[in-house]
């Protein structure tokens, strides 16, 4: 019951088995080669596992057999005393089974990133030399190029100077390492900078239009191409977008999720066929969805272009996306959970409704939200099927209705700066919608099947501990009753009280 004494300086053979003391760090190889020796010069990390079995809970539970007296104080106390690291929280509380802690956590990666002073100095030196050199080139040698050209030239010069600087005091291996590091960093910077430019540029150009309040509340019915930005707005586009995506989701969420359940839960050759076709259809270019609805709904059936037609086109586009990602998420639900539910006698659909869907909830939400973001932003299905209007239209079944991306697309083709500004404003609002959806997806989803947040985990553990102590106190009461019964019974001899059997 006591904590183990610190392991004695053991024999070499035993040292592998016992909780190892941290390896004595090798003295840093001071006189090592500059290139490769960086790694050997790093003090080796102690890779001994943290002695998991030295935890108070484990030690406590290990000593005693599952006596009915122990758990009343045991489980609650153990939960309270456990370290507050959320990853170490067990989800469920099994009285007396704490020694079997479940699988060990997988290997985690250590962060080996290390910034060396010389590297920083080299980068700074090469960068300043490159900027100066490019400046000299652009003012003295070949004047009058654009900013993008300047950046490209400066980057090329930077690489050259950087390689030259390293090669002064490193060998070939180190040169490759540093240059690869710099190139990889710059690729990431370029991609992120491009994203920043796209977002900031759209917001800046759009702010001309959306800083006016009327942009958010009015439609374009009173505003021609020449009217100033203080009149007219894009509210009709926002309404149209919301109506279209609402109809598309009303069809594709039930259908897509049921289809995904079918694919994941009823494996059969037919399900494989459906999965193959769905995967093929994720490749369907969005404009072809629009063309299909245009050719059938509008031309063959002779119905008007309307928001409903557009939402049908969007449905065809996002349905395969939702089915596919939901199918992937559902297949990640552990089979043990399903079998546990089935083994309690639950029927198939109850298992899916009460076990599979709640377990996969966050992943399913992500699948739906990402499909929605895709559907909201897509212009081409709407372009062919919704028609263009400058009015509010709340009827999805008749009359043209415009969506934000389509309005952007139409407005920026105009040569009037106010129209272009309105187009940018609409794009900015659309982008804000997508960002909001995306934020929601990250907030709700992003976790694997059955993974709880730290708070949820604590809650689950507390509930489980409550249950365990309730069971334990009931068992204790039962045992006491049995014992009293045995005492009162004037039997021929002392009956063996068997609290274990009574449970």
Within 449-488, the residues that bind another protein by CB under 8 A are: none
Question: Is residue 83 at the binding interface for another protein, with CB under 8 A as the rule?
Answer: no
DSSP string, 145-171: --HHHHHHHHHHHHHHHHHHHHHHH--
Question: How many Cα atoms sit within 13 Å of 40 on the Cβ side?
Answer: 10
Identify the burial level of 233 via C-beta atoms within 10 angstroms of its C-beta, where 0-12 means exposed, 13-18 middle and 19 or more buried: buried
Question: Is residue 132 at the binding interface for another protein, with CB under 8 A as the rule?
Answer: no
Within 155-194, the residues that bind another protein by CB under 8 A are: 173-174, 176-177, 180-181, 183-188, 190-192, 194
Q: Report yes or no: 411 and 218 within 8 Å, Cβ to Cβ.
A: no
Alpha-carbon span 315 to 312, nearest angstrom: 5
Within 269-288, the residues that bind another protein by CB under 8 A are: 270-271, 273-274, 277-288
* Interface pick for another protein out of 89, 155, 392, 438 (rule CB under 8 A): 438
Q: Least Å distance between CB 115 and another protein? A: 10
- Tokens of residue 300, six digits: 């063959």
Burial state string for 342-365 with b = 16 or more CB within 10 A and e = fewer than 16: eeeebeeeebbeebbeebbbbbbb
- Cβ contacts of 60 within 8 Å, gap of 6 or more: 1, 74, 78, 98
Question: Is residue 292 at the binding interface for another protein, with CB under 8 A as the rule?
Answer: yes
Alpha-carbon span 503 to 501, nearest angstrom: 5
Question: Is residue 289 at the binding interface for another protein, with CB under 8 A as the rule?
Answer: yes
* Interface pick for another protein out of 26, 45, 222, 432 (rule CB under 8 A): 45
**How many residues are present in the chain?**
503
Q: Least Å distance between CB 123 and another protein? A: 14
Q: Least Å distance between CB 154 and another protein? A: 13
Q: Least Å distance between CB 59 and another protein? A: 6
Within 372-411, the residues that bind another protein by CB under 8 A are: 373-374, 376-380, 383-384, 405, 408-409
Number of residues counted as binding another protein (CB under 8 A): 144
Within 86-115, the residues that bind another protein by CB under 8 A are: 99-100, 104-105, 107-113
Question: Is residue 444 at the binding interface for another protein, with CB under 8 A as the rule?
Answer: no
Within 323-362, the residues that bind another protein by CB under 8 A are: 323, 328, 334-336, 338-339, 342, 347-349, 352
- Tokens of residue 4, six digits: 């183990």
Within 189-218, the residues that bind another protein by CB under 8 A are: 190-192, 194-195, 197-199, 201-202, 205
Alpha-carbon span 29 to 391, nearest angstrom: 77
Q: Least Å distance between CB 185 and another protein? A: 6
Instruction: Pick the closest to residue 260 from 364, 373, 341, 347 (CA basis).
Output: 364
From 72-80, 290-298, 455-463, 482-490, span contacting another protein (CB under 8 A): 290-298
Nearer to another protein, 104 or 489 (CB): 104
* Interface pick for another protein out of 29, 120, 121, 152 (rule CB under 8 A): 152
Q: Least Å distance between CB 216 and another protein? A: 19
- Tokens of residue 76, six digits: 């609650």
Using the structure block, give the residue that is written with the tokens 């604590």: 458
């Amino acid at each position: 019951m006591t904590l183990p004494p610190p392991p004695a300086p053991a024999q070499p053979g035993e040292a592998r088995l016992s909780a190892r003391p941290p390896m004595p760090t090798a003295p840093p190889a001071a006189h090592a080669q500059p290139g490769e020796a960086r790694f050997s010069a790093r003090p080796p990390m102690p890779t001994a596992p943290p002695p998991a079995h030295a935890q108070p809970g484990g030690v406590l539970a290990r000593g005693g057999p599952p006596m009915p007296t122990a758990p009343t104080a045991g489980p609650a106390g153990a939960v309270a005393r456990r370290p507050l690291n959320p990853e170490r929280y067990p989800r469920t509380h099994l009285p007396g089974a704490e020694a079997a802690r479940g699988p060990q956590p997988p290997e985690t990666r250590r962060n080996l990133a290390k910034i060396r002073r010389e590297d920083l100095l080299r980068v700074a030196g090469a960068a300043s030399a490159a900027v100066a050199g490019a400046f000299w080139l652009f003012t003295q040698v070949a004047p009058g190029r654009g900013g993008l050209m300047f950046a490209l030239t400066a980057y090329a010069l930077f690489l050259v100077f950087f390689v030259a600087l390293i090669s002064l005091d490193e060998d070939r291996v180190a040169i490759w390492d540093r240059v690869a590091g710099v190139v990889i960093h710059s690729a990431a910077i370029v991609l992120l900078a491009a994203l920043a430019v796209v977002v900031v540029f759209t917001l800046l150009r759009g702010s001309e239009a959306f800083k006016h309040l009327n942009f958010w509340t009015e439609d374009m019915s009173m505003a021609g191409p020449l009217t100033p930005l203080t009149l007219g707005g894009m509210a009709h586009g926002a309404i149209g977008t919301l109506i279209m995506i609402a109809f598309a989701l009303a069809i594709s969420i039930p259908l897509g999720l049921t289809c995904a359940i079918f694919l994941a839960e009823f494996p059969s050759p037919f399900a494989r066929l459906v999965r193959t076709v769905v995967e093929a259809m994720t490749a369907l270019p969005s404009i072809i969805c629009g063309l299909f609805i245009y050719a059938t709904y509008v031309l063959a059936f002779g119905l008007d272009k309307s928001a409903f037609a557009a939402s049908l086109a969007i449905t065809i586009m996002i349905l395969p996306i939702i089915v596919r990602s939901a199918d992937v998420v559902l297949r990640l639900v552990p089979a043990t959970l399903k079998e546990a539910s089935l083994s309690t006698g639950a029927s198939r659909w109850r298992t899916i409704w009460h076990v599979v869907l709640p377990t996969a909830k966050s992943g399913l939400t992500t699948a739906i939200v990402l499909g929605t973001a895709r559907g909201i932003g897509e212009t081409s299905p709407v372009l062919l099927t919704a028609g263009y209007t400058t009015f509010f239209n709340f009827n999805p079944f008749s009359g043209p209705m415009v969506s934000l991306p389509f309005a952007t697309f139409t407005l920026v083709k105009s040569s009037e700066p106010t129209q272009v500004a309105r187009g940018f404003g609409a794009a900015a609002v659309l982008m804000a919608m997508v960002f909001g959806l995306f934020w929601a997806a990250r907030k709700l989803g992003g976790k694997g099947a059955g993974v709880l947040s730290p708070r949820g985990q604590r809650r689950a553990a507390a509930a489980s501990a409550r249950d365990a102590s309730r069971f334990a106190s009931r068992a204790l009461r039962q045992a006491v009753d049995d014992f009293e019964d045995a005492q009162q019974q004037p039997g021929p001899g002392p009956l063996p009280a068997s609290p274990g059997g009574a449970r």
